[in-house]
Amino acid sequence: MSAVLNAAGLGKRYRNRWALRDCTVEVPKRRVVGLVGPNGAGKTTLLNLAVGLLKPTAGQIMVLDARPGESPVHLGRVGFVAQQNPLYTNLTVADHLRLGAWLNPSWDAAMAEQRVDELGLDPKQRAGRLSGGQHAQLALTMALAKRPELLVLDEPVASLDPLARREFLQHLMQAVADDDMTVVLSSHLVADLERVCDYLIILANSRVHVAGDVEELLASHHRLTGPRRDPGSLPAGQEVIEASHTDRQSTLVVRSEAPILDPSWTVEPLGLEDLVLAYMRRADESGKPNGVSRTRLGVVA
Ligand SMILES: Nc1ncnc2c1ncn2[C@@H]1O[C@H](COP(=O)(O)OP(=O)(O)OP(=O)(O)O)[C@@H](O)[C@H]1O
């Protein structure tokens, strides 16, 4: 098995609205996968389908070679931290570890206690009294102590300050390095993802727009600047993701596996954030039939 998650034509519809549509994507083993996309793109829906909290309306999804949530054994192989890091506010840190041990046959009590100790969490402290960062770290500890093969994190750092975010991601990377684990992590914070992810999925308008190895994506995307030119005149194999023009000059974001040899272009590499924004803007433009895009209104961030 090389793919941990395999979705084919996967879709989820609420009444007459598709939250996720025609999603075909693979998550390779032992990767840290960043899932990005604008609000409402379908990220949480995809993650909830992956952990068995939702059932597909169309297509299928396989996780660790089984349908998500198929059996308790399978549930134990997948760790999940939902968007709000849900914990029991009236239970103490120690109660959470006891509950985890009771619910999970593969629970690593020594690891959980060591992490709580390293994080400086008071075992007697109620979860409801923890700071946002401590709360997120305890939720991560609960998921890691299951020793999952796949760890799914839905915007785990959204509410954390930069220092707590950095610490959370360091702990996550340490755990990934120590274990034979695949992580799928959704976030709007592309700079964070750039630091920890080696595989990227861009979702927009309920569809997957890009999925691939981060290094390969960065190597195959370029910013071209040169004399004004019709993007349609580019050679086959150069896909224009985004184009902007002044009277004399064109600036294009282009995907091309082959090097760009045309001497009239100045070719620059693209950072991950610019790459993500180019795809998000393209999706935003194509999703607005009346031409009033969020990009034009200046609200894509
Ligand atoms: N229970 C539900 N009932 C109806 N519509 C829903 C439900 N859950 C999600 N949706 C819709 O499905 C779409 C995708 O939502 P989802 O939460 O998956 O997006 P997201 O990419 O995670 O967004 P965000 O970045 O804002 O968290 C949205 O249009 C949302 O309004």
Residues contacting residue 98 through CB under 8 Å, at least 6 positions apart: none
Q: What percent of the chain has pLDDT over 90?
A: 61
| Residue-level pLDDT at 232 | 87
Query: What is the residue-wise DSSP string for 211-230?
Result: EEEHHHHHHHEEEEEEE---
pLDDT above 90: residue 46: yes
Q: How many angstroms does the Cα of residue 283 sit away from the middle of ligand 1?
A: 17
Q: Is 19 in the pocket of ligand 1 (CB under 6 A)?
A: yes
What is the predicted ipTM?
0.97
Q: Which of 44, 193, 276 to mutate to test the pocket of ligand 1 (most atoms within 8 A of CB)?
A: 44
pLDDT tens for 162-186 read 888 888 888 888 888 877 899 999 9
Q: Higher pLDDT residue, 89 or 286?
A: 89
| Residue-level pLDDT at 297 | 37
How far lies 280's CA from each of 21, 95, 207, 234, in Å?
Answer: 17, 43, 11, 22
As a whole number, mean pLDDT of residues 43-57 equals 95
Gap between the terminal Cα atoms of the chain: 37
Cβ–Cβ under 8 Å, residues 241 and 254: yes
Closest CA to 204 of 284, 292, 301, 289: 284
pLDDT tens for 13-44 read 999 899 999 999 999 998 999 999 998 899 99
Q: Is 16 in the pocket of ligand 1 (CB under 6 A)?
A: no
Q: How many angstroms does the Cα of residue 85 sit away from the middle of ligand 1?
A: 17
pLDDT above 80: residue 154: yes
